[in-house]
């Protein structure tokens, strides 16, 4: 049965993971359950206090994006909004992709107000346009991508930022688990539908620099061991109907983001039909510990520890502006193009640093199975 939930978060719930991994770990101890790997333990306990080489990304460091076109999903709030803002300030035409027209229009008005009152940029401010995108509906997702193809002759940057987090288990009209649809299946479909335009942009100029950025999360390390992604059950897989089970399911979808990214990079690199696919760089990103209303809602609902985790999250977190640093590095920093072999297909953590991933996320067989299963299902439903 299809269940429509109001208020799907469109700002990238990867931001919540760092704030709730520690309480999730504590809760697993209370409930006598275990994370899937030792790597998970060190990631949970150490990462928030580590010292990455780069601590920020300034606008002036980024490429001049005049004449380029970008899409940011979930661009009306949080990390997505901060990403849209900076890409536009660097001169790109940006599609702010979001489900709610009211929220999108409010974001556009806020951007215009900030433009009027902000210090002058070194490049003219790019146009920002709303693109209706409902990731819980695969057919509308397909239509949104096709709208961009009709309107644009190029697409240089795609940031798949939007996601939902710890939510009750609901299903779409197609009988698919909604969190998997929003977090993996629809971004997969959106990207593949746009891929010919991205490839056209990459082949139009030997110096082209096309980026595909998928927001993932360190929460992927909390997904229990996955043996296969073959079959429809892999797309509907979820864990126990508890707070911790919901978090594990969220981690499972974030694992899918990393596997999709690495498999896309492999397929593009080996593609003989697109000789300049080497001009396309794909990356997955963990934004860090970012404070948003959505993350606070999640920490408040932690069983027994809600009051504590909410206070801990406020202490450990950064702002959405800071949370966007790694997305912006992936999308528009010249270092990525200069060192493409280093960055293509990898997982970045704040700020612009290649991060460690779980054994599941390193498994090329799982990545291939996930791709083939998702592609087959989309063809079966008439979306590809």
Task: List active site positions.
Answer: 216, 250, 254
DSSP 30-96: HTT---S-HHHHHHHHHGGG---S-----GGGSPP-TT-EEEEETTTSHHHHHHHHHHHHTT-EEEE
Q: Which of 249, 241, 186, 213 is nearest to 347 (CA)?
A: 213
In 213-333, alpha helices (H): 232-235, 243-269, 293-300, 306-316, 320-323, 325-332
Q: Which of 350, 355, 343, 292 is nearest to 326 (CA)?
A: 350
Peptide bond into 26 cis (omega under 30): no
CB under 8 Å to 363, separation ≥6 — which residues?
A: 259
**Beta carbons of 287 and 14 less than 8 angstroms apart:** yes
CB under 8 Å to 280, separation ≥6 — which residues?
A: 198, 199, 202, 210, 211, 212, 268
Q: Which residues pair with 210 in a beta bridge?
A: 280
CB under 8 Å to 247, separation ≥6 — which residues?
A: 20, 24, 166, 219, 222
């Amino acid at each position: 049965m299809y269940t429509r939930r109001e208020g799907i978060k469109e700002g990238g719930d990867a931001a919540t993971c760092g704030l709730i991994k520690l309480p999730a770990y504590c809760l697993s101890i209370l409930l006598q359950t275990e994370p899937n790997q030792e790597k998970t333990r060190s990631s949970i306990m150490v990462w928030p206090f580590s010292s990455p080489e780069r601590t920020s990304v300034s606008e002036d460091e980024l490429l001049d994006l005049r004449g380029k076109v970008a899409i940011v999903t979930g661009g009306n709030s949080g990390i997505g909004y901060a990403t849209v803002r900076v890409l536009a300030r660097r001169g790109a035409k940006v599609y702010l992709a979001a489900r709610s027209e009211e929220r999108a229009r409010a974001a556009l008005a806020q951007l215009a107000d900030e433009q009027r009152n902000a210090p002058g940029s070194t490049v003219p401010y790019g146009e920002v346009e709303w693109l209706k995108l409902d990731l819980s509906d695969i057919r509308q997702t397909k239509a949104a991508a096709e709208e961009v193809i009709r309107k644009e002759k190029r697409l240089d940057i795609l940031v798949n930022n939007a996601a939902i987090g710890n939510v009750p288990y609901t299903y779409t009209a197609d009988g698919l688990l909604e969190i998997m649809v929003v977090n993996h299946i629809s971004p997969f479909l959106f990207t593949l539908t746009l891929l010919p335009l991205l490839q056209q942009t990459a082949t139009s100029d030997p110096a082209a620099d096309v980026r595909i950025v998928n927001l993932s999360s360190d929460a992927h390390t909390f997904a229990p061991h996955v043996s296969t992604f073959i079959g429809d059950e892999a797309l509907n897989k979820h864990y126990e109907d508890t707070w911790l089970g919901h978090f594990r399911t969220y981690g499972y979808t974030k694992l899918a983001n990393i596997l999709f990214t690495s498999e896309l990079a492999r397929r593009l690199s080996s593609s003989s039909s697109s000789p300049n696919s080497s001009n396309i760089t794909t990356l997955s990103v963990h934004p860090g510990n970012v404070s948003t209303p959505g993350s606070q809602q999640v920490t408040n609902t932690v069983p027994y520890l809600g009051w504590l985790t909410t206070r801990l999250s406020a202490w450990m977190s950064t702002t959405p502006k800071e949370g966007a640093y790694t997305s912006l590095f992936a999308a528009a920093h010249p270092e990525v193009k200069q060192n493409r072999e280093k960055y293509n297909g990898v997982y970045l953590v704040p700020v612009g640093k290649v991060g460690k991933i779980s054994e599941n996320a390193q498994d090329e067989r799982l990545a291939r199975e996930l791709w083939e299963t998702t592609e087959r299902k989309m063809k079966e439903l008439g979306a590809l």
